[in-house]
A = this chain, B = another copy of it.
């Protein structure tokens, strides 16, 4: 296919650059609209208005409303993923507990800064919209993949206490699920650690969601950063991460 080669070799034409820029503008304006009115009220007409263009013009760039939602989903996952990666990368490789806390803190900071995008990614599903797995799975799993790799690296380095509470047994079906995950992600940690890792994952997002979605109420917790920090300490203990 000559056309594929040529698009790689040739620099983008002005028209192509304009097109890329316009799509980026549409995503940006979509996010603003999301922040103000929520995903269910996201409208192509409103984005067109903000873009200074007639409503039918956005159909040159986006197939329909659902595709705009998909673009926003991917954009959100990648922004979160980038910030999480940067935060984790700034901690020494051997400091697994520090990496875990950096990841969690980055998730919380992004969620508080971008509550509408966070709600789109981790809140109630948008009625009538189904994300296309082939486009969203990879960006959508960046945080959990990174988290699992921190735990697994800690285990391989002997920094993960796999015998936190030997009394709890892993039932058969769960063990099968965990075995499949271990194979697919090429992990070394035992069932007990993986299962606890899953709980830490859900607990982290549970804590962030409660805070972002206002479940704590307006007055009950004033020291929210301290609360979150304490929760991280306890979760560290849950998964047996020393530090």
Contacts and interface: CB of A to CB of B under 8 A. Distances in A.
A171 B229 contact: yes
A11 interface: no
Interface in A86-126: 119-120, 122-126
Contacts of A127: 36-38, 40-41
Interface residues of A, number: 59
Interface in A7-60: 36-41
29 contacts: A37-B128, A38-B40, A38-B124, A38-B127, A39-B124, A122-B215, A133-B218, A137-B217, A168-B230, A168-B234, A171-B223, A171-B229, A172-B223, A173-B222, A174-B230, A176-B222, A177-B222, A180-B220, A196-B234, A198-B227, A198-B231, A199-B203, A199-B235, A202-B210, A203-B206, A205-B209, A205-B215, A206-B207, A206-B209
Given A119-B123, A120-B124, 18 more contacts: A38-B127, A39-B124, A119-B124, A122-B213, A137-B217, A168-B233, A168-B234, A170-B230, A171-B229, A171-B230, A172-B223, A177-B220, A177-B221, A196-B234, A199-B207, A202-B203, A204-B206, A205-B210
